[in-house]
Amino acid sequence: MSTDSGQVDDRLYARGRDVVLSYLTGAAGAWEIDDDVLETLTPSGGHRRIRVCVTDGPRWEVPWADARPRHRREPDGWWAFVRLRADSHEIYLAAESEVRERLYVLVADAGSGEDARPGQDEGPDPAADEGGRIVLSDDDVRALAHRWGELDLTQ
């Protein structure tokens, strides 16, 4: 949930979170369970977890730790990528497992000595520095995009 210059400020993140919440029609309720994770309750009592990543620039940045596989005990969630502009927004929904797989591939590629992708800042290799960030481009995110109807908050 960061911009190209570093961490997203609280106001930008709050705007991005509000955009995601506006897309959650059919939810019985929604609340924040972590700094960048929303949880929704369906009318039948089911839960959906949505990680929110916000930017106002050309790329999204996520922590290196998000490239690690999740324990299978937790149900797979979703990831909302929000780009805010002064008068509009773009929002993409992706399956968390698919995002984590893409992040893992990016980290593995960086660790294999391949050149960094264009536009990626110089700095520590995210595969070697757990404090690093992984940069996702529009192409990365759009390739993972799902329809919001697949979130299925009606049950």
Mean pLDDT calculated for residue range 17-23: 91
- The residue among 123 and 17 whose pLDDT is bigger is 17
| Model pLDDT, residue 54 | 95
Q: Which of 7-16, 58-67, 137-146 has the highest mean pLDDT?
A: 137-146
**Is the per-residue pLDDT at 129 higher than 50?**
no
Query: pLDDT digit string (tens) for 95-118?
Result: 998 998 898 888 877 766 544 444
Question: DSSP string covering the chain, please?
Answer: -EETTEEPPHHHHHHHHHHHHHT-TT-SEEEEEETTEEEEE-TTS-EEEEEEEEESSS-EEEEGGGGSPPPTTSPP-EEEEEEE-SS-EEEEEEEHHHHHHHHHHHHHHHHTTPPPPTTPPSSS-TTT-TT-EEEE-HHHHHTTEE-GGGG----
**Sign of the CA dihedral running 84, 89, 90, 94:** positive
* pLDDT, mean over the chain: 79
Query: Tell me, what's the pLDDT at 151?
Result: 85
Cβ–Cβ contacts within 10 Å for residue 85, how many? 8
Identify which has the larger pLDDT, 130 or 20: 20
Write down the pLDDT at residue 42.
83
Higher local confidence (pLDDT), 9 or 68: 9
**Nearest alpha-carbon partner for 54 in 5, 120, 8, 108:** 8
Residues in the chain: 155
Domain that holds residue 104: 2-151
**How many structural domains compose the chain?**
1
| pLDDT number for residue 122 | 44
State pLDDT tens for residues 37-95: 999 888 888 888 999 999 999 999 988 877 776 655 555 789 999 999 988 999 999 99
Taking the complete model, does pTM exceed 0.85, yes or no?
A: no
Average pLDDT score over residue span 123-143: 71
Q: What CATH number is associated with residue 49?
A: 3.40.210
